[in-house]
Amino acid sequence: MRLHLLWLCSLLQLWGCTTPNPAVRVQELEDGSLQVEGPLAGPFKTTEELASAACELMTAQPGADATHGSRGKEYCALHYYSEQEQGYFLSFLSDIGGDGPDGRKYCLVPRKLQDLEHRRVVLLGPAHNHPHNPLPSERDMGALRPAGWSPLGTSRFLEQETGRIWERELYIFHKDKLGHCSAYSYNYATRVVSALRAGHWIPIGKAEGHWGAFKAFEGKDWLP
């Protein structure tokens, strides 16, 4: 198991490392997969409370908000539920990523979680910020997206011990130049997109087709 360096150093110039980001705790395992520690934040009673707090937390990281535009940085995390606490949590962050071939920012979503405080947890999905665009991309909402990060490749599943059926969701956060934080969720099972407005998830549309083209519900849009 190799600990991923949180900030790259230039030994020729600095002869040392800058201070690591305390919110970033990610490891690359021997099989090449990424694992984050947890929890960074929680417990929260509802996913709405979790998403609201996570939006502020993740967009507060260096380079994560809209003031950095196309030069910004994406961070990834996992959100999950603990039967022990009966609450929702956000993991620590991963900063492993960069610029894709099309110029879009990306981060590699961790597939594993190490939470030594909570043994019985249910992984519910990934989360990441968008530094220059508040909207989920077609890549985020593609039909095959769940298999890319999920340990089981499933979007809806039964938790055996409780008999509860869960649906995995992606959370996307964006803080604009005025400091307003927007949160969106994409349900991998139903493909419904919701926006967090006034503390509640409001369904605003649905992704369609292999590549996840967005179709708004009547009278709804990305912005209120």
Amino acid 210: pLDDT: 82
Residue by residue, pLDDT tens for the chain (224 residues) are 333 333 333 332 333 346 889 999 999 999 988 999 999 999 999 999 999 999 999 999 999 999 988 789 999 999 999 988 999 999 999 999 877 666 677 888 899 999 999 988 999 999 999 998 877 777 778 766 654 555 546 788 888 878 899 999 999 999 999 999 999 999 998 999 999 999 999 999 999 888 888 999 999 998 88
SS (H, E, C) the chain: CEECCCCCCCCCCCCCCCCCCCCECEEECCCCCEEEECCCEEEECCHHHHHHHHHHHHHCCCCCCHHHHHHCCCCEEEEEEECCCCEEEECCEECCEEECCCCCEEECCCCEEECCCCCCEEEEEEEEECCCCCCCCCCCCCCCHHHHCCCCCCCEEEECCCCEEEECEEEEEEECCCCCEEEEEEECCCCEEEEEECCEEEEEEEEECCCCEEEECCCCCCCC
